Structure formats: C-alpha cells, structure tokens
Amino acid sequence: MAKKQNKVIFLDRDGVINEDPEHLKFQYVTKWKEFKFLPGAKLAIKKLTDAGYSVYVISNQAGIAKKYFSMRDLKFITANMMKEAEKAGGRITAAYYCPHRTEDNCGCRKPKAGLFKKALKRGPIDFKKTFFIGDSIRDVQAGKAIGCRTLLVLSGKVRSRKGKGWAAKPDFIKRDILKAVEFVLRRDKKKT
C-alpha cells in the first residue's frame, strides 16, 4: 500500500493557474499558445513545492467531449504547463481532467468528487486537512463534496466576494492564487 501523502493541495486550472478562457473562441484553452499563466501563479506553485506540498491540478475540460480539442491537445498543454512550472522552481505532481459534458453525468465532473479520488492512487490523503483552490462555486461544491477546505480566488469565474445566490459558501476567499497560497502557508506556520 502506498504511504500517506503528508501535504497535498488541489488547484483548479482555468481562472486559477491560467487566464480564464471565457474570451477565447470556444471558451476553452484549445492549444498551448492560448494558455497564459496568471500573474503570481508560477511563484505560488514554487512556494507550495518549497513547502513540501504535492500539487494536484483538477479541472473540467468538456471541450474534449464537444470536439473543440483532443485529449492529445490537452496532454500537450499540460506537459508545457508542468514544464513552465518546473522552470520557475515549482512542481505539479499530477493533473486530472474530466473530459465529459454535464449531461454525461459522470462521476469525475466537478462538482462531483471523482477527480480528487484519482490522486489517492499516489497514497492516502487526509481531505479534512487539504485545501482546494478554485475560481467557481462549482469548485467550492466539489471541494466540500470530498471534505476539503475550500479557497475561492477572484481571478476567474467569480469576481466578487458577495455570496448572494451561491449554492455553496467557500471557507475562505482571496484575490488570486498567490494570495491564497500565502494564506495556506501562513496557516501551516502557525500550526508548527
């Protein structure tokens, strides 16, 4: 049996690590040249790596089911994202994607918890001690479905701290991934 993973963090991709693709033709990142890291994202991943975290990216990518891009395209984008993070001193342990549409009703599409469970292949995770950083209420719902603490960033789909009409309330709200990561790391220091 794989040994317990000590420190784990989950990150959504679009709107957290890279610019939300809502302005693009298909509203998906369909090729590497469309992928634009958000300011501070590479530094945030480096800080997590330096602090000993396993960093998992989990993201819905229904553009595959809609035939806007292929799984091969997504793998190429992911490989380049990981390479750029490594050049900046960070490491993304793995990236897990749901390629399905909502109507496919699969278990891996957020707000369901299937993508989190894929990370368990690398060892047990104490989800109660784990954060999920996302940019949408769907991310918050997914994090809560698995028992994670949720951190909503205002750099993607949600742009306001006002939670009127939200289906789920995040545990914390920060401006962007860098502020979110700094918050998580400060909490770690207080515990030690």
Please identify every residue annotated as catalytic: 12, 14
| E strand segments, the chain | 8-11, 54-60, 94-98, 131-134, 149-153, 172-174
Contact 175, 153 (CB under 8 A): yes
Alpha carbons 64 and 141: distance in angstroms, whole number = 23
How many secondary structure helices (H) and strands (E) does the chain include? Answer: 5, 6
145-153: long-range contacts, CB 8 A cutoff, minimum separation 24: 145/111, 145/112, 145/113, 146/113, 146/116, 146/117, 148/10, 148/116, 151/180, 151/183, 151/184, 153/15, 153/16, 153/177, 153/179, 153/180
Element spanning 71, H or E: helix 71-87
